[in-house]
Chain A
Amino acid sequence: VSTLSLCFRINRRSGGLFLQTKMAAPLTLLVIVAVTIRAVLFRSSLAELISERVEVVSPLNSWKRVVEGLALLDLGVSPYSGDVFHETPLTIYLYHFVIDYAEIVCMVTDGITAVALYLAVQVYNKNVFRKQKYALEADRYPHDCLELMQTPKELFYVPLKVAMFYLLSPFTILSCVAKSTCGINNAIVALFVLCTIKGSALLSAIFLALATYQSIYPITLFAPALIYLLQRLYIPVNLRRQSFWLFTLQYAFMFVGSLVVIVGLSFFLLGSWDYIPSVYGFILSVPDLTPNIGLFWYFFAEMFEHFRLFFICVFQINVFFYTIPLSIKLKDHPVFLMFMQIAIISIFKSYPTVGDIALYMAFLPVWSHLYRFLRNIFMVSCVLLACSALFPVLWHLWIYAGSANSNFYYAITLLFNVGQVLLVSDYFYAYLRREHHLSHGLYLKKKDGSEATLVLK
């Protein structure tokens, strides 16, 4: 113990400064590599192919539909009068000005996401390290848990790995080359994570409102953000404490206030509320059954008409439902809760694309210390890789060759989603198990002294 805490003590002095300076160069290099890959792909003939892929673009964020919306505006028709355009008014006004630089905007948003995640994880890791150190100094961990400690050496590369997982992930690259507006949503969520972790309640609320405005679902991130900010201000989550309610109301007010401002701004930009049913109604009622990697399209294509409303409610509630139990279970670990929420949203949302998956997968390096507790990571990664490869194959067989039917593609989406569910629940399991070991010791013994196995009861 003494050598380890000594080692920690040495690192504490140099740590902060060291992290700031030495990592800028690799990050810059990473961004340059990422931009180069994207620029090459934009110039290649693949760009057009990628932008038509149903896995990469959904009716909500396809670039073709953004251009269509702008063309409708030019014709003097409200883009929301039809059922092709489902972007929010602010997005269309953003693109109205940058339509000629769309490729640059996509690369920049990806860069912003990566840098925001990088900075957020850096701050988070510093906090984790500090907490761990205090706990060690207070001798709060069982003695056999030293091998569970996160060493500065491990933590040092995590932010860079996160940025790399985001920027070099094939999913992000595809999404960026397709000019999917999913990149913007990811950037907003990443900025929200950064502001929350940095402890800026106002900015966090503003970005959360923006993310909610873009696609409703991020509203579930309200809970982890609130818990994190409370924790940062040393306010206990206790429903009987006045300070808890005071801050909750304050944060909720900031969130609702900025949401009202954004929604009002959109109203004044277009002069009508048409966008509400066209964007949020479209997300919630799932009228467009274009195949994608999610669970909704085939389910509602094959659904009996009189059960449709019931199942739409069930499936949509499913996305929001996990917030409360997860917040209770993970009330001491808001950043992991945030990761869980982002992952659940991107699995169970109505029009998921690979860009959404890329966002939560970028967080995986943060939990690399859970690796020893993951039960089926090998199988899950094989499933996810195989499915990613099979998507275009079976799509081709169904749509172009005509030698397969929709069931083939559907089967792959099912498997892909099972893989994602298993991946996320595996990380959840590993996280809980590590926490258990941190309080009960790593090598547990049975009453008779033999080696014990942990089970969930």
Chain B
Amino acid sequence: MPTLTLASARSPFRDEFAEELAIRPLHSGDIHASFQFRTVWGVDLLQATDPRFLRYAILPREIVCTENLTPWKKLLPCGSKAGLAVLLKSEKLFHSSYFSQAVHIRPVCQGMHCTVPSWEMRQTLNVVFDLYTSGQGKREWSMFKIKIYVDVTDSPQGELFELSPPTPLLSQAVVLGDRRTYSVYDLTDPGTFGKVRSLNLLVRWKADNGDMLRPLLHGERYVAGFGLQTGEIHTLIYNNHPYRAFPVLLLETVPWYLRLYIHTLTVTSKNRENKPSYIHYQPSKDRLRPHLLEMLVQLPPNSVTEVTVQFERALLKWTEYPPDPNHGFYVGSSVLSALVPSLVAMDTNITQEHPLFSSFFLCKEESSYFMRVYTEPLLVNLPTPDFSMPYNVICLTCTVVAVGYGSFYNLLTRTFQVEEPSQSLAKRLANVIRRWRGVPQL
């Protein structure tokens, strides 16, 4: 997959600031752009980082719009006045097929012995521009003006795509533990432009369905079952490494209104039970605290591990439903954290290029790298009461209670008596008239 770094700038504002843009053309023909900003303060914001104060929060769904982007841009030292942030035009960004925006704040160390505490804020923004919908409908992609690295690991001989004009310069780098080969077009060198004094770099795809370079670790999640009573959350974790097994830490937070039954938790890999080596579970408290499930699962090589857990859907109070209750409730994504073994370490041809002894130590420090994967958020429907009914329900239920109360009250306070029929009104009137006439009474 061709990857190129467009710009990298450093500003002395605050203590340290760095920004970066990485663009990557995808197989679908779309373009993925990743903006990275990093601000570091050399001050200690909090005196201590006590793990007891560690918080994990998740907002599974938020309609992103300019209202999210503007305050986010204000966190940058120059706002949207300078640097890469100038490119972040909301009318373009929100016409994309994928948009993700993040802020990470964490304590980092400066200096050898970690004596100077400092805080790092990373802001990332990832967009996938959909070229099909923006009218071009082409997978071909071109770019000029700057120095370019094109990732040609997948087709070193031009089987999958062809670059024009061809370049003799190749460079190798290790990215996320993966050895990658790049074709380099150095725009600073006038020789690159040749006689026409201009360069139009063109990626031309040859095959329709090339063998995608799949990530070593990725996850999927979905809800199984039908009806509004129970359900089952399935999490699929893929280990695409051909022969290395590695552990992964799965963190799930499920809101309390999906009552998880931890005894139904099953973990299977390759049709066999795969008992997690560690489980931490904190059950939910209604209206206070979600379920927290954390477990360490060993992923066998080249396998799919399926984690399933059953839940029961709760009926909420009518005021607890969002404005569109039948749309469903979002459940935050689960987080997969793992030290993924590097593909470099699994390269057996390494002996040809490097001294023999280096292959004895496969577990070098760079032989694995940390990776955190977020699965999809879930959309779960809950049973709903009728929102137009509160007065009716209060009336009807109270009536039933009153029927009970009334009938018992009747029997408790009254006694049986022989009915002495009272005279009807007509008879009484007739008797008054008869008395007045002096005739015997009826």
Whole-angstrom CA separation of A303 from B395 in the bound complex: 11
CB neighbours (8 Å) of A425 from chain B are 404, 407-408, 411
Which of A68, A84, A432 has the largest number of chain B CB atoms within 10 A?
A84
Interface membership of B419, Cβ < 8 A: yes
| CB nearest to A53 among chain B residues | B229
Q: Could you tell me if B281 and A301 are in contact, using CB atoms closer than 8 angstroms?
A: no
- A158 to B229 Cα, complex, angstroms: 41
Q: Is the interface of A mostly helix, strand, loop or mixed?
A: helix
- Interchain nearest-CB distance for B419 vs A (Å): 5
Q: Output the nearest chain B residue to A77 by Cβ-Cβ distance.
A: B281
When distances are taken between beta carbons in the complex, the residues of chain A under 8 Å from B436 are: none
Residue-wise interface mask of B (392-416) relative to A, using a CB-CB cutoff of 8 A (1 in contact, 0 not): 0110110011011101101111111
B224: min CB distance to chain A, Å? 15
Which residues on the A side are within 8 Å of B413 (C-beta)? Answer: 325
Which of A108-116, A213-221, A241-249, A290-298 lies at the binding interface?
A290-298
| B287 & A287 in contact (Cβ 8 Å cutoff) | yes
The listed residue (B226, B283, B285, B389) touching A72 by CB distance below 8 A is: B283
User: In the complex, what distance in Å separates the CA atom of A398 from the CA atom of B381?
Assistant: 13
A399 touches B383 (CB 8 A): yes
> Within 8 Å of chain B (Cβ to Cβ): is A10?
no
Per the bound structure, the CA–CA distance linking A236 and B419 in Å amounts to 33
Task: Confirm or deny: B418 has a beta carbon within 8 angstroms of a beta carbon on chain A.
Answer: yes
Chain A 418-429 near chain B by CB (<8 Å), digits 1 or 0? 100110010011
Contact B403 A421 (CB under 8 A): yes
Q: Is A452 among interface residues, defined by CB-CB distance under 8 A?
A: yes
Asked if B416 contacts A456 (CB within 8 A), the reply is yes
Please give, as numbers and ranges, the residues of chain B lying within 8 Å of A64 by CB-CB distance.
261
Contact in complex: A67, B263 (CB < 8 Å): yes
Closest to B413 in A: A325
Collect the chain A residues with CB atoms within 8 Å of residue B358's CB: none
The verdict on B420 contacting chain A, using a C-beta distance below 8 Å, is yes
For B285, what are the chain A residues with a Cβ–Cβ distance below 8 Å? 81-83
Q: Mark A285-319, 1 if CB is under 8 A from B, else 0.
A: 00111110001011111111100000000010010
Bound CA–CA A75/B282 (angstroms)? 10
A72-B283, A288-B314 in contact; A454/B418 too (CB < 8 A)? yes
Cβ-closest chain B residue relative to A297: B315
Complex interface: chain B residues within 8 A of A302 (CB): 318, 385-386, 389-390, 393-394
Residue of B at shortest CB range from A70? B263
The stretch among A129-137, A256-264, A400-408 that forms the contact with chain B is: A400-408
Q: How far is the CA of A309 from the CA of B229 in the complex (A)?
A: 28
Does A418 lie within 8 Å of B403, measured CB to CB? yes
Q: Is the CB of B416 within 8 A of A75?
A: no
Binary interface encoding of chain B residues 134-167 relative to chain A, with 1 for a CB under 8 A from any of its CBs, else 0: 0000000000000000000000000000000000
A410 contact set on B, CB distance < 8 A: 393
How far, in angstroms, from A287 to B256 measured CA to CA in the complex?
Answer: 12
B367 within 8 A of A: no
Complex contacts, B229 vs chain A, CB 8 Å: 52, 54, 399-400
CB of A326 within 8 A of chain B? yes
Evaluate whether A436 and B397 lie within 8 angstroms (CB atoms) in the complex, with A77-B282, A398-B383 already known.
no
> Per a CB cutoff under 8 Å, which of B263, B286, B312, B417 touches A287?
B286
Contacts of A304 in B (CB 8 A): 390
- Contact A68–B261 (Cβ < 8 Å): yes
What mask results when residues 210 to 248 of chain A are scored 1 for a CB within 8 Å of chain B, else 0? 000000000000000000000000000000000000000
Task: Provide the bound-state CA to CA distance between A453 and B384, in Å.
Answer: 50
Q: Quick check: is A322 within 8 A (CB to CB) of the other chain?
A: yes
In the complex, what residues of B have CB within 8 A of residue A440's CB?
Answer: 416
User: Within 8 Å of chain A (Cβ to Cβ): is B227?
Assistant: yes
CB of B258, distance to nearest CB on chain A (Å): 11
Q: Of A303, A407, A429, A444, which is within 8 A of B418 by CB? A: A444
A84 & B385 in contact (Cβ 8 Å cutoff): no
CA distance A444 to B287 in the complex (A): 62
User: Taking A82-B285, A287-B286, A446-B418 as contacts, is the C-beta distance between A325 and B412 under 8 angstroms?
Assistant: yes
- The answer to whether B393 and A299 touch across the interface, beta carbons within 8 angstroms, is yes
Give A46-74 as 1s and 0s: 1 = Cβ < 8 Å from B's Cβ atoms: 00000010100000000010011011100
Tell me which of A299, A325, A455 contacts B397 (CB under 8 A).
A299
Instruction: Please tell me if the beta carbons of B401 and A301 are within 8 angstroms of each other in the complex.
Output: no
- In the bound assembly, the distance between CA atoms of A75 and B291 in angstroms comes to 14
Q: Mark A321-342, 1 if CB is under 8 A from B, else 0.
A: 0100110010000000000000
Whole-angstrom CA separation of A291 from B412 in the bound complex: 32
- Shortest Cβ distance from residue B161 to the other chain A in the assembled complex, whole angstroms: 48
Tell me, yes or no, whether B317 is within 8 Å of chain A by CB.
yes
Which of A81, A421, A444 gathers most chain B CB within 10 Å? Answer: A421
A167–B34 Cα distance when bound, in Å, is 69
Determine whether A348 belongs to the interface, using a CB cutoff of 8 Å to chain B.
yes
A22 at the interface (CB under 8 A from B): no
Closest chain A CB from B290 CB (angstroms) = 11
In the complex, B230 has a CB within 8 A of chain A: yes
Which residue on B lies nearest to A79, using beta carbons?
B283
- Are B400 and A421 closer than 8 Å at their CB atoms? yes
Q: Does A43 contact B (CB under 8 A)?
A: no
B283 — which chain A residues lie within 8 A by C-beta? 72, 77, 81-84
Please tell me if the beta carbons of B386 and A405 are within 8 angstroms of each other in the complex: yes
* Residue B262 interfacial (CB < 8 Å): yes
B411 CB contacts on chain A under 8 angstroms:
329, 425, 428-429, 432, 456
Proximity string of chain A (434-452) to chain B, C-beta cutoff 8 Å, 1 when within and 0 when not:
0010001000101100001
Report the Cα distance A290→B259, complex, angstroms. Answer: 11
Is the pair A301, B404 in contact by a Cβ cutoff of 8 Å? no
Q: Collect the chain A residues with CB atoms within 8 Å of residue B260's CB.
A: 84
Q: Does B433 contact A (CB under 8 A)?
A: no
Known: A68-B263, A301-B385, A302-B393. 4 other contacts (CB 8 A): A77-B283, A84-B261, A84-B284, A300-B317
12 contacts between A and B (CB under 8 A): A68-B263, A287-B286, A289-B314, A299-B393, A302-B385, A329-B411, A406-B315, A407-B386, A407-B389, A414-B400, A417-B400, A418-B400
